[in-house]
Amino acid sequence: MTLVGTQVLPGRPDESSGRVVVLGATGFVGRHAGAALEAAGHEVLAVARQAAKTPASWQFCPMDLVKDGPAALTRLIDAEHPVAVVNAAGVAWSSSVGVMRQGNQLLVERLLAALGAASWQPRLVHLGSVHEYTPQSAGVCLAEDSPTRPVTDYGQSKLLGTRAVLRSTEQGRTNAVVLRLSNVIGAGTPPSSLLGRVAQQLLARAAAGEPVTVQLSPLRSSRDFVDAKDASEAIVAAMRTPEARGRVLNIGSGTSEHVRAMVDRLIAASGRQVRLVEDTGGTVRPATDADWMCVDVTAARELLGWSPRRGPEETVRDLWNAAEGSG
């Protein structure tokens, strides 16, 4: 096992260790989670399959739980005694059902096996998705007791991972809390998402005097968009709240924003002249794709003392500033 970055102090860590293992630390949510944990005074042990640029203050440990199995993670936990493990790893909206099952179910099973074999039991904060729920009609917010019959392969794979975590906790093998995240956006939003795709198109060069063309599928849905910083603060709160053990908590903004309004905000933040084209591309959207989504965050507010603090304008501005800086 190779750790890269800040070295561990001599001696065996004890219960006062502030170390936190972040799985998927080089991904979008993982990076934000690591930043929030460090800001809260924790030492970040970043785990990912491949090395990527991370803050110099983080330790990095290359690891592939799916391919190599849980033994290396068990050794890391036994050696470092982290206070928590944050599972921000996974596969989002892959075209392959098998890939999603590997990243969202098998990886979780490997993680639980590693925790079960370790001599030290940290708090596990597992990041699920609101897509694990059955889509609701307009005006009905998703609560923790909403039905869990996902209509997408992605939601089904995430639900299988969540159920494994809850089962392990009920059986006393794991000290875990599940956070079901809504649509997370902010600096570093990946181009695979709607707003990430818009940002990438806005960065394209247009001919002199011509607007930038942004081409999208028809914008007719409303979604709950949560700022990545807000979601990361919820992760820190869940890690520090013993009473959250075994709970599922929704993390979102608590509001439903029309995707067109979000796209318009992003275009305004860019300052570019834009020609927006909505085109189905000859495809028909599945009837099971819900048009409206909102997340009830009452339970997280009451149990964790957490509330979303950032509005969509600030979130979209962060997204654009980061995209423009890296473009």
Average pLDDT of the residues in 164-180? 98
Whole-number percent of the chain with pLDDT over 70: 91
| 72-91 exposure pattern, b = at least 16 Cβ within 10 A, e = fewer | bbbebbeebbbbbbbbbbbb
User: In order of start, what are the domains of the chain with their CATH numbers?
Assistant: 17-186+225-253 (3.40.50.720)
Please determine, for residue 58, whether its predicted confidence score (pLDDT) is greater than 70: yes
- pLDDT given at position 205: 79
- pLDDT given at position 279: 83
- pLDDT given at position 290: 65
Count of residues in the chain = 327
Q: Are 91 and 102 in contact (CB under 8 A)?
A: yes
- Catalytically annotated residue among 154, 225, 306, 320: 154
Average pLDDT of the residues in 184-196? 96
- From 77-81, 210-214, 236-240, 278-282, the region with the lowest mean pLDDT: 278-282
Who wins on pLDDT, 281 or 11?
281
pLDDT in tens, 232-271: 999 999 999 999 999 999 999 999 999 999 999 999 999 9
154 catalytic? Reply is yes
- pLDDT given at position 164: 98
- From 59-68, 72-81, 280-289, 301-310, the region with the lowest mean pLDDT: 280-289
DSSP, collapsed to helix, strand or coil, labels residue 32 as helix
In whole angstroms, what is the distance from residue 247 CA to residue 179 CA? 8
In whole angstroms, what is the distance from residue 248 CA to residue 177 CA? 6
DSSP, collapsed to helix, strand or coil, labels residue 292 as strand
Q: What is the mean pLDDT of the chain?
A: 91
Q: Where are the alpha helices (DSSP H) in the chain?
A: 28-39, 65-68, 71-80, 97-101, 107-117, 153-170, 194-202, 228-239, 259-270, 298-304, 312-326
pLDDT in tens, 264-279: 999 999 999 999 999 8
- pLDDT given at position 17: 60
Other CB atoms within a 10 A radius of the CB of residue 273 amount to: 11
